[in-house]
């Protein structure tokens, strides 16, 4: 017998996007509910490591569009869940990394 575990999340489970600096490790979390206009993604706010060097404004706008699409899709799915029939939709993710503290 073969056993398989799948890890699924609903779109409503997506709370934020986290940007982790590869240089110093600081994490910047941008909530789905917010906007990026008040956040700079061109460099790390802690160590000034360049992040989005070229086309920073364009990438920030693209990120905002992605966030708006996820937010709109989540709201649409919530409306659909209130009706009978239809379907539900989840995102399959990779298994969480083991912490080694079992």
Q: pLDDT, tens digit, for every residue of 10-64?
A: 888 888 888 899 999 999 888 888 766 656 778 899 999 988 766 656 777 788 8
Candidates 63, 27, 59; CA nearest to 45 is 27
Residue 90 lies in a domain: no
Number of domains observed in the structure of the chain: 1
What is the pLDDT, as a whole number, of residue 32?
84
Helix (H), strand (E) at residue 62: helix 56-81
**Domain presence at residue 98:** no
The closest of 91, 41, 96, 85 to 64, measured between CA atoms, is 41
Among 26, 25, 21, 18, CA closest to 50: 21
| Residue 39: its H or E element | none
**Domain of 41?**
7-81
Does residue 95 form part of some domain?
A: no
């Amino acid at each position: 017998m073969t056993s398989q575990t799948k890890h699924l999340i609903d779109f409503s489970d997506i709370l934020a996007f986290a940007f982790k600096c590869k240089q110093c490790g600081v994490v910047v979390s941008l909530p789905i509910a917010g906007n990026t206009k008040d956040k700079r993604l061109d460099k790390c706010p802690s160590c000034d490591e360049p992040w989005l060097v070229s086309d920073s404004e364009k990438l920030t706008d693209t990120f905002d569009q992605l966030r708006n699409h996820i937010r709109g899709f989540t709201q649409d799915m919530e409306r659909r869940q209130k009706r009978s029939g239809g379907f539900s939709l989840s995102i399959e993710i990779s298994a969480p990394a083991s912490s080694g503290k079992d």
